[in-house]
Amino acid sequence: MRKESDKILIVGGDRRFDAAEDVLKSKGYSVSRITDEKGAEKELNEADVLLLPLPYTADGVTVYQPDGKGPIPLSAVLRSLRPGKTVLCGKADAELRSAAEKNGAVLLDYNAEEDFAVKNAVPTAEGAIAIALDMLPVTLNGSRVLILGFGRIGRLLAAYLRGFGAAVTVAARKPSDLAFAEAYGYEGVPFSRLAEAVKEKEAIFNTVPAPVLTQEVLTGVSRDAVLIDLASKPGGIDRQAASVLGLNAVRALSLPGKTAPVSAGRYVAETVMRFLSGTEGDG
Amino acid sequence: MRKESDKILIVGGDRRFDAAEDVLKSKGYSVSRITDEKGAEKELNEADVLLLPLPYTADGVTVYQPDGKGPIPLSAVLRSLRPGKTVLCGKADAELRSAAEKNGAVLLDYNAEEDFAVKNAVPTAEGAIAIALDMLPVTLNGSRVLILGFGRIGRLLAAYLRGFGAAVTVAARKPSDLAFAEAYGYEGVPFSRLAEAVKEKEAIFNTVPAPVLTQEVLTGVSRDAVLIDLASKPGGIDRQAASVLGLNAVRALSLPGKTAPVSAGRYVAETVMRFLSGTEGDG
Amino acid sequence: MRKESDKILIVGGDRRFDAAEDVLKSKGYSVSRITDEKGAEKELNEADVLLLPLPYTADGVTVYQPDGKGPIPLSAVLRSLRPGKTVLCGKADAELRSAAEKNGAVLLDYNAEEDFAVKNAVPTAEGAIAIALDMLPVTLNGSRVLILGFGRIGRLLAAYLRGFGAAVTVAARKPSDLAFAEAYGYEGVPFSRLAEAVKEKEAIFNTVPAPVLTQEVLTGVSRDAVLIDLASKPGGIDRQAASVLGLNAVRALSLPGKTAPVSAGRYVAETVMRFLSGTEGDG
Amino acid sequence: MRKESDKILIVGGDRRFDAAEDVLKSKGYSVSRITDEKGAEKELNEADVLLLPLPYTADGVTVYQPDGKGPIPLSAVLRSLRPGKTVLCGKADAELRSAAEKNGAVLLDYNAEEDFAVKNAVPTAEGAIAIALDMLPVTLNGSRVLILGFGRIGRLLAAYLRGFGAAVTVAARKPSDLAFAEAYGYEGVPFSRLAEAVKEKEAIFNTVPAPVLTQEVLTGVSRDAVLIDLASKPGGIDRQAASVLGLNAVRALSLPGKTAPVSAGRYVAETVMRFLSGTEGDG
């Protein structure tokens, strides 16, 4: 889609984008970066490709950049959009999409790519295990663990936990997911038997973004258990009920950037390079 | 969907259906079986549910039954179809579908269910490994193996082969499948680099039902390698080219019924019970 | 060896001994515990079995008890020794041994039992992985890791790390250990090739209690690598050289009590019960 | 110990020695081979190193050589022994040892080396699994398997079987072996509970060369189970009792040469090269 000679500008971002910059440069791309407003306008105008962070903004006003030198106003980015410019962005919202469209710029959301999501499931699963290792007073080896959901993250969690010699149970809705779980050697239980499945588990990992660990189900959870909620948005644990029951529940979000920023940055770079080389994606 | 009191009749079938019969009976279903034409008409008429084998016919004239006492004409089955009767069948074709529809019978193809396919991937992968263990003059441990395709069978093959300490490479088309393969710790290569990936592999397993191991690709395969084609219909290996090149290629089809008939029969019974209990499937 | 009706007294100790107490009580043993000097003399005199912590003392004057109510003088313990009394102790030294012998008490060191050591290798390996997950800016998945030594800890580390999809290399001295490492699917390298093996590794775990990671070897280690030294006493890393080279090296000792105190306490209880039931050990 | 310029003569042998010859030649050794008596005397006299097969004889009269052109009398070999000559041999017996000693030749038994035994455990375990895959009417995945003994072969069997998603139970005598089995995530049971442990297992693998599967224990084995005896000499299964009970028991010996002759031959070559280069072994 784009020539390799195009100028890429990384706008703001966290540690992941240090790594993304390194990878892109090592692959021969022409990359520069701005971390404050100084000279931003000129750079934004001259760049062929803008690489925005993930998320591209946290406050709706400036580009996301937790440790940057100074704020970069979103308005400066929007002003620079024009035909021939490509914006690569994580979690594009309606506002950014319409601004790009209005100005004839191409907008691509790397966070919406299936392979990017699969790659990020790795540090998410590893981060969840790091939390479990920290919180559990027992070893993962020999523990009975329950994983809710058998999608990208659930599958990797199951594999990694089994590597420790944990006894892994997977709760899933689809019969084919349950069949897959058992084909890998895990115990599979349908969600209809969740209230029973949570019993006598040392650790419970939720990956389902729906209220699955309800008050009723939580009453069966051991007081010694650790509950780790990896599901986005509303999460899957009734936090209030967990608190009343005295359960040990934590919410773990955005793990890739926290536990493995260099890997997470590489994933950004790899998806960006796929976009720029025009290789077809998962579609 | 059906009452548990319904009469199930197993019509013909191979060893798998011995196991399916055992499971269904142990779960309290009313099951009988016919293995020849004697008394077939009465049984076929009285049954509420007909369980036909997989495939339901091999010759288009009789019900599939490799070791039965006598032939059971398909025509006898078709004559028994009427409203209120359910036909459970593997690999239903247009003929059977139209016969069922014309006579008001319900036809369900257990072989088309996603969880049934996932379960059957297990004995398929195990059977493929049994073949590799037999054919290879070296151990799987320490061998470099290549798996083409990362669907149901490819994923299990990869997991089981890695269990032996083989060095597993997965060739896949979709970036997300490659990402998944690497998340599990395998080497992932896109199909565009297949010609290179086949080199120096001791065993190559194909699961892709398309001509992927072409003459051109096969020229890079080691003379000592073993090629095992698990793909249905046309298969994925250019058999003629393989033969000319002196390569050791085998086609392995219908492994579940051969390598693990009792397990394969259980899968039939489990899907049948899901149908009869009206539990929703993968959709 | 001892009747189950014997009175066991746990003297001091850390969180592990809370768990040990729970397990022993749940198995029907008569157990009490002292955590300060109050009433200690009477309890020490009346007990048939004294269970001392691991290590039994840290300062040579009081019983080890990081969070106890008050100090328990070692002298009080020694005064209570007499014929018929059994002392179960971790890391018994010459002083305690001679005191027991002089007074006719039986002294058994649970920490010297082979199965106890194997069990403690589990939380040690898990703790080492927790450290690696915390320190590494990349995922373990896809990382190249090197393990020095293929004894109890090295074997488990290798298995657990491979579970994450890391590429595991094992450095060992004995040809049979190298053969074993390769039989499990790891790459094995003799110590003579260590200087080469450390290169391009993201994480290096040492389990060998000898100066193996010398200055010369360390010069080949990547600046981005993490070095985790699990070896007792002198450790295996030249810490000064590592510091001069700017390497990221940590020493991780006594992991079981830190990362999995409940499991570690169970191991104590299990070995204690084996001692008391007179079941033969590893000999 | 020996110069690399020494002349190695392979005397007889099976397919493994084809592979051993290839490896030794590829590493630059001067190797020749005799497969019948023709010219044997001259070759035997001129060689510096004689590499005898494994076992070196099956009939006590000729060198072991199942597919050779003609018999090679042992006497011809013995006549060639003299000071400066090295004999590398598998399963040396008293007769050969005394003949070598009497004539001043050095005799080394590669089969007695620990690393050679570990390496051969790989094809033994793989061969055992191939047998199980062939015999079992169910999949290994989801099967409950019991392994008697947790030495070289037992450990690899456990790892490979778990790779299939089998539920692995290990019976062992030593507490530390049981602890190790559980650290890997298997269920460990002491031999004292063997009668109970055999129940409801689909496959039982014995690696213990002692009568462990006695008539009494066998009465608890399922009629559908498969018993595979890998133990040398007397084996561990009471074959007569198994037969009376109608159990499905097989004895599997010398698997490496049968299931992976090329790998097995490489192991011979590797140990031979270690001998000739004078590298210290496992001692």
Give yes or no for residue B187 having a pLDDT over 60. Answer: yes
Residue D160 DSSP SS3: helix
Give yes or no for residue A6 having a pLDDT over 90. Answer: no
DSSP summary character for residue A212: -
Q: What percent of chain C has pLDDT over 90?
A: 89
Mean pLDDT of B31-52: 94
Q: Which residues contact A46 (CB under 8 A, 6 or more apart)?
A: A7, A9
What six digits make up the tokens of C104? 């006719």
Please, which residues 116-145 of chain A have a Cβ atom closer than 8 Å to chain B?
Answer: 116-119, 121-122
How many beta carbons lie within 10 A of that of residue B38, not counting itself?
A: 12
Report the C-alpha gap between B154 and B161 in whole angstroms: 10
Q: Specify which residues B2 forms β-bridges with.
A: none
Mean pLDDT for all residues in chain B: 94
CB contact under 8 A, A179 and B118: yes
First-to-last alpha carbon distance for chain B, in angstroms, is 16
Minimal Cβ distance to D137: which of B130, B139, B260: B260
CB contact under 8 A, B175 and A281: yes
**CA separation (Å) from B283 to A176, A210, B17, B113, B115?**
10, 19, 26, 9, 11
| pLDDT the model gives residue B283 | 43
pLDDT, one tens digit per residue, over C181-237 is: 999 999 999 999 999 999 999 999 999 999 999 999 999 999 999 999 999 878 999
Q: Where are the alpha helices (DSSP H) in chain A?
A: 15-26, 40-46, 74-79, 94-102, 114-135, 152-163, 175-183, 194-197, 215-218, 239-244, 255-259, 261-277
Chains touching C by CB (3 or more pairs below 8 Å): A, B, D
- Residue D187 CB-density burial (10 A; 0-12 exposed, 13-18 middle, 19+ buried): middle
Q: Which residues contact B130 (CB under 8 A, 6 or more apart)?
A: B259, D130, D133, D134
What are the phi and psi torsion angles at B192 (to 5°)? -65, -20
Cα-trace Rg, chain A: 21
- Element holding B156 (H helix, E strand): helix B152-163
Q: Chain B within 8 Å of C179 (Cβ-Cβ)?
A: no
Q: What residues in C contact A139, CB-CB < 8 Å?
A: 122-123, 126, 259-260, 263
Residue C232 DSSP SS3: coil
User: Nearest 5 degrees, angle CA B220-CA B225-CA B227?
Assistant: 90
pLDDT, one tens digit per residue, over A249-269 is: 999 998 999 999 999 999 999
What six digits make up the tokens of A242? 């967990």
Give yes or no for residue A130 having a pLDDT over 90. Answer: yes
Q: Which amino acid is at C121?
A: A
Residue A105 DSSP SS3: coil
**CA separation (Å) from D244 to A45, D212, D216, D223, D235?**
88, 17, 12, 12, 18
Minimal Cβ distance to B137: which of D137, D159, D261: D261
Report the C-alpha gap between B51 and B108 in whole angstroms: 10
CB contact under 8 A, B141 and D126: yes
Residue C215 DSSP SS3: helix
Report the C-alpha gap between B205 and B212 in whole angstroms: 11
Distance from the D125 Cα atom to the nearest Cα atom in chain B, whole angstroms: 10
Mean pLDDT by 10 residues, chain D (283 residues): 76 95 96 93 95 93 88 95 94 93 96 95 98 97 97 97 96 96 95 96 97 97 97 91 96 94 97 83 50
Q: Chain D within 8 Å of A164 (Cβ-Cβ)?
A: yes
Q: Chain B within 8 Å of D263 (Cβ-Cβ)?
A: yes
- Element holding D152 (H helix, E strand): helix D152-163
Q: Chain D within 8 Å of C277 (Cβ-Cβ)?
A: no
How far from chain centre, in Å, is Cα C25? Answer: 24
Report the C-alpha gap between C161 and B1 in whole angstroms: 48
User: Nearest 5 degrees, angle CA B142-CA B144-CA B149?
Assistant: 135
Give yes or no for residue C283 having a pLDDT over 50. Answer: no
How many beta carbons lie within 10 A of that of residue A33, not counting itself?
A: 16
Which residue, A282, A279, A240, A258, is CA-closest to A128?
A258
Q: Chain C within 8 Å of B94 (Cβ-Cβ)?
A: no
Which residue, B130, A131, C263, is CA-closest to D182?
C263
Give yes or no for residue B247 having a pLDDT over 50. Answer: yes
Scan for tokens 């007074």, then name that residue: C103
| Buried-exposed string C146-164: b where 16+ CB fall within 10 A, e elsewhere | bbbbbebbbbbbbbbbbbb
Mean pLDDT of B157-177: 96
Q: Chain B within 8 Å of C162 (Cβ-Cβ)?
A: yes
Distance from the C281 Cα atom to the nearest Cα atom in chain D, whole angstroms: 6
**CA separation (Å) from C26 to A10, A166, B260, C4?**
61, 24, 44, 13
Scan for tokens 């009920």, then name that residue: A241
CB contact under 8 A, A118 and B176: yes
Report the C-alpha gap between B42 and B72 in whole angstroms: 13
Q: Specify which residues C12 forms β-bridges with.
A: none
Q: Chain A within 8 Å of D165 (Cβ-Cβ)?
A: yes
pLDDT, one tens digit per residue, over B50-104 is: 999 999 999 999 999 988 788 999 999 999 999 999 999 988 999 999 999 999 9
Report the C-alpha gap between A181 and A161 in whole angstroms: 13
Mean pLDDT of B268-274: 95
Quick check: A127 and A151 in contact, CB under 8 A?
no
Predicted confidence band of residue C67 (pLDDT cuts 50, 70, 90):
confident
- Element holding B123 (H helix, E strand): helix B114-135
| pLDDT the model gives residue D248 | 96
DSSP secondary structure, B211-223, as one string: S-B-HHHHTTS-T
User: What is the complex's ipTM, to 2 decimals?
Assistant: 0.93
Mean pLDDT for all residues in chain C: 94
Minimal Cβ distance to B259: which of D133, D142, D165: D133
| pLDDT the model gives residue A277 | 87
Mean pLDDT of B224-248: 94
Nearest chain A residue to D167 by CA: give it. A185
CA atoms within 13 A on the CB side of D85: 24
Give yes or no for residue C2 having a pLDDT over 70. Answer: no
